[in-house]
Amino acid sequence: MRIGILGTGNVARTLARGWSAAGHDVVLGSREPKDRTGLDVGTAAVVSLTEAAAHADVLVNATPGTASVDVLTTIGAPALAGKTLVDVGVGMTGDMTLAHPNSSLGEQIQEAFPGTPVVKTLCTMDCSVMVDPSALAGPSTVFLSGDDAAAKTTTRRLLTDLGWPDSSQLDLGGIITSRGQEHFALMFVAIAGGLGNHGFNIQVVPPGSAHSA
């Protein structure tokens, strides 16, 4: 699959290595690709944002959440139309509060680009866990939010290629549920402070049979 990752930060580079290792044709999109040389991105190339969009069957938003809509606007709705957009961003302000306290970045992207199906995922964990969930002490959960069933099916395949079995993937429903994923960022920061480590994840534990009636 041809994947265009928007951004060249730590999350983007980690995902590029993960999906490249799984056999996908990956590029990273940057506003200044000539200044982004020597990055550890596996077999991926760094190109312009418009080139990344043109290359991709699936786009991945790994830009800072406070700038994502502006970045996508520079690419333009026609270039994004019909492509699945996997959004892993969270908007956080400089004082570590939510930039979208009564909404979510996922919802705002979907509203701004109605012709582009958005799927929110992978934003509740550190990037090291995104690409290597088996390194944790046990199974954990990755969430999906979005309105388009076909886009979710594509995203599930990409998550499987990063090591997430189907049993670990939990579909939360429509794009409005991305609020829950993004707002978990505050809990993530608190847990990281308590553990002194970011390399963790959470697991949703369903009720046992004795309590499920």
Write the DSSP string, 101-152. Answer: TTS-HHHHHHHH-TTS-EEEESTTS-HHHHT-GGGSSS---EEEEES-HHHH
Q: Which residue has the tokens 């009636």?
A: 213
CATH number assigned to the domain comprising residue 20:
3.40.50.720
Torsion of CA 10, 177, 117, 48, to 10 degrees: -20
What's the total number of domains in the chain? 1
Helix (H) / strand (E) element for 45: namely: strand 45-48
- Count other C-beta atoms under 10 Å from residue 160's C-beta: 14
Q: Which residue has the tokens 């026609």?
A: 78
Give whole-number Cα distances, 103 to 45, 114, 165, 180, 187, in Å: 34, 16, 29, 10, 17
Residue 13 belongs to what domain range?
2-211
Q: How far, rounded to the nearest angstrom, does the alpha carbon of residue 45 sit from its chain's CA centroid?
A: 19
> Per-residue confidence of the chain (213 residues) as pLDDT tens digits?
999 999 999 999 999 999 999 999 999 999 999 888 889 998 899 999 999 999 999 999 999 999 999 999 999 999 999 999 999 999 989 888 898 999 999 999 999 999 999 999 999 999 999 999 999 999 999 999 999 999 999 999 999 999 999 999 999 999 999 999 999 999 999 999 999 999 999 999 999 866 655
Whole-number Å distance between alpha carbons of 102 and 107:
11
The whole model's pTM is what? 0.95
